[in-house]
Every structure is written in C-alpha cells, then in structure tokens.
C-alpha cells in the first residue's frame, strides 16, 4: 500500500506547479501588453499623432479578449500643447539631439531663426545689469542661459524674462540634470517665449543658437477612458482598478517617449487583473478603468469622477497602479483618508507574505489618477514603485521596453488580490 504522505507531497507539488504556471502565464500576458503599448506604433501614446487614442482602441480589444463582460469608451476633450513637427536645434553649428541634448518645456511655442546666446553670471548676479545687457544691439533677441535651480532664487526676474512684455530676450535655456525629462503635464497653454532644458554639459561659451522648432496646440482634442466590467455575484458595491494609458507622445518627428514604466506597466497590470477575475468570478463587481489625459493634468480621471458609470459611494476600494515596472523592494503608496480603514490589513498581508520588504506610505498628492477619487472620499490606494533601476528614466526617452523591469508586477498583483479576498 502506498504511503499516504507520498500522495500529499505529490498533491502539494502539483498545486505548486499549477500555481507557477498560472503566474507564468500572467507574466507572459503582462509583458506582451507592456511591449505593445511601448512600441513605435503608438508614438509614446500622446495626442498629436493619435497615439493615445490608438492605444485606447487596443485596450478596448484587450479587455474584451480578457473576458470582461462589458467594455465601453467614455469620451472627453482636453487642450494640450504638442511637438509633432520640426525639432531642429544647433549651437555654434553643432547639431543637438532632441531628448538627449535638449528638450522643450511643455508650454513652449515654436520658433525659428538664429539667435545670440547670453549667459547669466550666477556668481555675481545683478538683475539690473542683465536687463540692461539684453537691451544692447549685440544681445537683441538673445536666448538667456541659466541653471534651473538658480532661477528659483530669483523667481520674479525669470518670470519677467519669460514674459513678452517683461524683457527683450527671445527665450530661456535652463541647464538641468541628465537624462533630460519632459514634463508635459501642464501643457494646457502656450507661453509667450520658448523655454527649453539642456544638460549641464551645454557649452559654457557658445555664441549662437539656430532653431526650427514647431509646436501644435490642440484645442478640444477628443480622448476617451476605457472602462471594463467583470460581474461578480453581488452588485451592491464594487472594486475599481485604475491606470493611465496615455504618455508624453512626441518630441519632433523622430523622437517619442515610449513610457514602458510610465505607465504601460500599470495599464498592463489592470488588464491582467481583468483576465484573472474573468476566470475567477469575484464576490463583487470589478471595474477596470484605463484613463487617458493623466499626463495632461489628470483630465481623464477628473472627467470620470464628474461622470461616473458607477456611483462613487459604492466603491469598496480603488487601486490606482502607476509605474510598477521597477525593482525597488520597498513599495511606495498613498492612501486616501477613507482608505486608511483598510490599510492596516494591507500592511498585515504584506508582512505575512513578505511581498515587499516594506510599504512606504507617502503624503496624499495630486500626482496620479487616484487623487480625484480621494478628495471625493473614495477609499483608495495608489501603488508606485519608486527609486528602482528604471525610475531614473521617468519622463525620458529611455523609458523603453528594452529598459523595462518586471520585478514588482507579481508582488503587487498578489498583494492586491489577497487584500480583496480578505477585506
């Protein structure tokens, strides 16, 4: 007669193998979606070339393939400044590479021509001399160069330098750390003068700048949120998973911001959550919302909370997943006031299972799509893996599939899944 313990051990081994296969399949699905969204097909999932809307159409199909019972698109409009056209810049005849040697500020207008360069003396700073110098014929229409952090100390002067009526300079060049970041989230207007960032290695004695840079301001540009539903056994309340699928788009015709970590990683996660719950029917209805317009000042989520498809008061808990394509063993999170009633359990589950070495809870901020829900008293938690190997690529051209890291996906998936099972 066979040893009963042998059968027990074999059963445990079989279940372990099955579990590994399930998670391996999830990872395969997850990586496929991240790779797709960060491909050249979607041109950084921005607005000028329709990349965000192309990505939204892809996600609509993905949620349906994942087994969602219902998938809808929720349209809205936004205003945004973009750079889909010419992006040529040279300094003393040397060609500068977009995204590497320079990047435009999100509100900058286009400009064309050759301009003198004027360097601000930060060691002997004298604002009266600066404005006097800029009035001299040799400095007519000059681009002013200064360290970005230094400009904070003299905010009124630099506000004047950026105003068309404040000073006769043509624009500003701020030196900044590498790799250069493109903060496009506030590009809902066009400024008076072009402003750009360059690395600290920018020449210290250059004389002229030649440029042909085009911007395109999109007024009432049509976007949409993608909303999928997996029905549970109860319909009186629900869980919500959110992630933004839009990103920064283009910096000229040849350069785009792929956004593998930000936020193809979070978007792919909620797609796999939808697939999981479609196969493992939950107690409560599950909603999965892929937002557009996050990189345009949270426009998609702000629109949603004013036009919800399910009452905000019926949300048991909302999970906003943003930039988890990293490998920091400490998981950053933000929790709404109402969400704190579940946070002790969230921490307990993590401690028991050792998914992350620790949870680092930061102050609630308007930095992602959980915020419009949080200020409307929805229990929610924001998950973002910061300060790992890929975080330095945030909002740069290096946030690509080739630089993607997937360490945080599985622990985030299991932590959230376990919480829902026990909450």
Summarised one tens digit per residue, pLDDT across range 29-83 is: 999 999 999 999 999 999 989 999 999 999 999 999 999 999 999 999 999 999 9
Q: Residue 166's closest CA among 154, 153, 157, 175?
A: 157
Query: In angstroms, rounded to a whole number, what is the distance separating the alpha carbons of residues 374 and 44?
Result: 28
Q: Residue 183's closest CA among 258, 268, 104?
A: 104
Sign, CA dihedral 362-363-369-371, equals positive
Q: Where are the domains of the chain?
A: 28-78+219-422, 86-213
The predicted structure's pLDDT at residue 4: 53
Token pair of 416, please? Answer: 């959230």
Alpha-helix runs per DSSP H in 38-176:
51-66, 127-133, 148-151, 155-162
| CATH placement of domain 86-213 | 3.50.30.30
The predicted structure's pLDDT at residue 168: 94
Q: Residue 105's closest CA among 180, 163, 157?
A: 180
Query: In angstroms, rounded to a whole number, what is the distance separating the alpha carbons of residues 55 and 48?
Result: 13
Q: Could you count the other beta carbons within 10 Å of the beta carbon of residue 348?
A: 13
Q: The domain at 28-78+219-422 falls in which architecture?
A: 3-Layer(aba) Sandwich (3.40)
Q: CA angle, corner 252, sides to 246 and 51, nearest 5?
A: 25
Token pair of 233, please? Answer: 């056994």
The answer, yes or no, to whether residue 127 has pLDDT greater than 80, is: yes
Backbone angles phi, psi at 160, to 5 degrees: -65, -40
The rounded percent of the chain whose pLDDT value lies above 90 is: 91
pLDDT class of 10 with cuts at 50, 70, 90: very low
The answer, yes or no, to whether residue 1 has pLDDT greater than 80, is: no
The pLDDT tens digits of the residues spanning 236-270 come to: 999 999 999 999 999 999 999 999 999 999 999 99
Alpha-helix runs per DSSP H in 125-218:
127-133, 148-151, 155-162
What is the pTM (predicted TM-score) of this model?
A: 0.92
């Amino acid at each position: 007669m066979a040893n009963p313990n042998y059968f027990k051990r074999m059963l445990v081994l079989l279940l372990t193998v099955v579990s590994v296969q399930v998670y391996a399949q999830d990872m395969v699905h997850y990586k496929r979606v991240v790779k797709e969204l960060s491909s050249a097909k979607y041109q950084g999932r921005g607005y000028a070339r329709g990349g965000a809307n192309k990505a939204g159409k892809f996600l609509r199909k993905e949620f349906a393939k994942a087994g969602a019972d219902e998938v809808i698109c929720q349209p809205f409009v936004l205003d945004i400044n973009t750079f889909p056209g010419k992006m040529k810049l040279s300094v003393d005849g040397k060609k500068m590479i977009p995204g590497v040697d320079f990047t435009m500020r999100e509100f900058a207008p286009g400009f064309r021509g050759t301009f003198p360069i004027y360097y601000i003396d930060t060691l002997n700073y004298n604002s009266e001399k600066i404005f006097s110098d800029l009035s001299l014929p040799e400095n007519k229409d000059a681009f002013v160069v200064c360290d970005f952090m230094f400009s904070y100390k003299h905010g009124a002067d630099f506000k004047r330098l950026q105003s068309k009526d404040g000073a006769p300079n043509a624009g500003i060049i701020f030196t900044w750390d590498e790799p250069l970041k493109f903060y496009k989230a506030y590009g809902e207007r066009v400024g008076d003068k072009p402003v750009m960032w360059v690395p600290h290695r920018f020449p210290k004695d250059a004389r002229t700048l030649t440029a042909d840079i085009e911007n395109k301001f999109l007024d009432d540009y049509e976007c949409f949120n993608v909303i999928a539903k997996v029905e549970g056994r109860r319909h009186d309340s629900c869980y919500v998973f959110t992630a933004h699928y839009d990103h920064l788009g283009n910096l000229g015709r040849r350069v785009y911001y792929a956004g593998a970590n930000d936020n193809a990683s979070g978007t792919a996660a909620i797609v796999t959550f939808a697939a999981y719950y479609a196969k493992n029917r939950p107690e409560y209805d599950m909603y999965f919302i892929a937002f557009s317009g996050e990189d345009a000042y949270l426009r998609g989520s702000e629109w949603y909370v004013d036009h919800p498809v399910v009452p905000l008061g019926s949300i048991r808990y909302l999970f906003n997943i943003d930039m988890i394509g990293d490998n920091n063993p400490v998981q950053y999170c933000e929790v709404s006031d109402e969400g704190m009633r579940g946070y002790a359990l969230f921490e307990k589950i993590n401690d028991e299972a050792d998914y992350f070495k620790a949870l680092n809870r930061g102050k609630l901020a308007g930095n992602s799509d959980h915020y419009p829900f949080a200020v409307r008293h929805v229990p929610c938690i924001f998950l973002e893996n910061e300060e790992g190997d890929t975080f330095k690529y945030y909002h740069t051209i290096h946030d690509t599939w080739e630089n993607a890291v997937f360490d945080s996906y599985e622990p985030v998936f299991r932590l959230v899944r376990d919480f829902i099972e026990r909450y």
